Structure 1
């Protein structure tokens, strides 16, 4: 007779699975891997984003003792690319290459699966990272922007997963496990957590909750509409691109 798993233990494992999926941070828990657990871990994406943001803000404060703001921001961005494996940036490059160079859905999906980066993707990466650095330098509070942006931006792919169909080859996609079976009930938990984060930090920067809500909704609607039109749904790379886009819109508001 199968042993019934403790719900708290299940959620603890789901959290660490989300950490391992989105970052290179070692998972400090034994994972009884299953398709269901991988589906459930998506709920913790904004929480993982907040933990990353805490690392970024702490490093920025540390670097600021030795270097100026620009150097400190660039060093934090280097750390971000390392600790996440440039996971979302890779999605951005692949998405832009595919949507810019493909004339049919089949061709776009084929280009998106190609590990090589093209002109469109290269330009998108350079511009996105440059704009991110510039926006952070222009923020009223750099440490606060570094802290909150990763949490807010990681809510956007959850909205896309719930409201759009998955269109890529599921047998060849890393995002297959999190793309299937993500429930709306868990989405509302993620939305509530992200809203709480935005409201709490609005005490330091009034109006941040409005900026966060606008960034998530605008990117989810516009990027989602564009993906539906160009692909008929979303892919794992498109989810990664949505994180980058949401961060940039959020930083524009901040």
Structure 2
């Protein structure tokens, strides 16, 4: 359980057990439980929706859901998304792109990317069929955090060191197998709805990480966040394309 609580504290603002000392091996083991961390995030998102759905118009509720997710995760993935936008779309050579991504300052590409990300998430969530929305809010974070496991275990790290490197080096060899098992468990309840979106999420992960690896020579901690945020937007878009829409 210690590894799970470390993962929960790292990926969210929720601190059930306050971990003040981070053992690098426990840090690596926490990767196994990322789909469960996604479940916790999704449960809070779905609960917020059910609590407010009868009282707020969908446009306002959708905006609150997007804001809540950013706050609940501490903006961790959004920060990686912005840094990746700054470097990946800078038009510079590979080494310069990686240097730009390490810069703590946010550039114009990052700002524009974040604005588009927020607006897209807001409007896409607002246009999902309310009968299906609670399910989507619940299992999207599970799929996107499982996608993080795929990024860590299946793609080469671009830097010689970094926090993301610790995940790749110290996560057990059985990490992918266990995380895949945990990530597929919701199929028992959601059945084909979840299975289809899980498959789409895996495909999106491979496309995005292959593109990133081609231009950066591998993945980084920042690109992990970029893939999570981009995956969620694309999965909501897929839901609308598949007919789960109010239009």
TM-score (normalised: structure 2) = 0.89
Query: Can you list the C-alpha shifts for 1:216-235, whole angstroms capped at 9, x where unaligned?
Result: 2x222211211221111110
Aligned 8 A contact 2:80 2:224 in 1: yes
Which of 112, 126, 129 is equivalent to 1:137? 126
Which shows bigger deviation, 55-64 or 130-139?
A: 130-139
Which shows bigger deviation, 145-154 or 73-82?
A: 73-82
1:106 aligns with 2:91: no
Q: Partners in 1 of 2:137 and 2:110 — Cα distance?
A: 24
Q: Partners in 1 of 2:187 and 2:143 — Cα distance?
A: 8
Residue of structure 1 equivalent to 2:79: 90
Aligned 8 A contact 2:62 2:125 in 1: yes
Which shows bigger deviation, 63-72 or 237-246?
A: 63-72
Structure 1 residue 29, shift from structure 2 partner: 6.2
Q: Partners in 2 of 1:17 and 1:116 — Cα distance?
A: 27
5 Å-filtered alignment, 1:14-163, equals: 14-28=3-17, 33-140=22-129, 141-163=132-154
Distance 1:198 1:74, change over 3 A: farther
1:166 aligns with 2:157: yes
User: What is the count of residue pairs matched by the alignment?
Assistant: 237
Q: Partners in 2 of 1:244 and 1:183 — Cα distance?
A: 25
Q: Which consecutive segments of 4 or more residues in structure 1 shift more than 4 A?
A: 29-32
Structure 1 residue 85, shift from structure 2 partner: 1.0
Q: Partners in 2 of 1:240 and 1:165 — Cα distance?
A: 16
Highest relative contact order (Cα 8 Å, sep 6+), 1 or 2?
Answer: 2
Residue of structure 2 equivalent to 1:213: 199
Which structure 2 residue ranges, 5 or more long, are not aligned? 240-247
Residue of structure 2 equivalent to 1:179: 168
Instruction: State the SS of the aligned residue for 1:139.
Output: coil
Aligned 8 A contact 2:186 2:194 in 1: no
Structure 1 residue 58, shift from structure 2 partner: 0.6
Q: Partners in 1 of 2:138 and 2:234 — Cα distance?
A: 15
Residue of structure 1 equivalent to 2:181: 192
TM-score (normalised: structure 1) = 0.87
Q: Partners in 2 of 1:33 and 1:90 — Cα distance?
A: 22
Which of 215, 224, 229 is equivalent to 1:239? 224
RMSD: 1.8
Which structure 1 residue ranges, 5 or more long, are not aligned? 1-11
Aligned 8 A contact 1:39 1:179 in 2: yes
Q: Partners in 2 of 1:32 and 1:96 — Cα distance?
A: 32
Instruction: State the SS of the aligned residue for 1:66.
Output: coil
Query: Can you list the C-alpha shifts for 1:62-111, whole angstroms capped at 9, x where unaligned?
Result: 12233111211211221211111111111111101101115222111110
Structure 1 residue 207, shift from structure 2 partner: 3.2
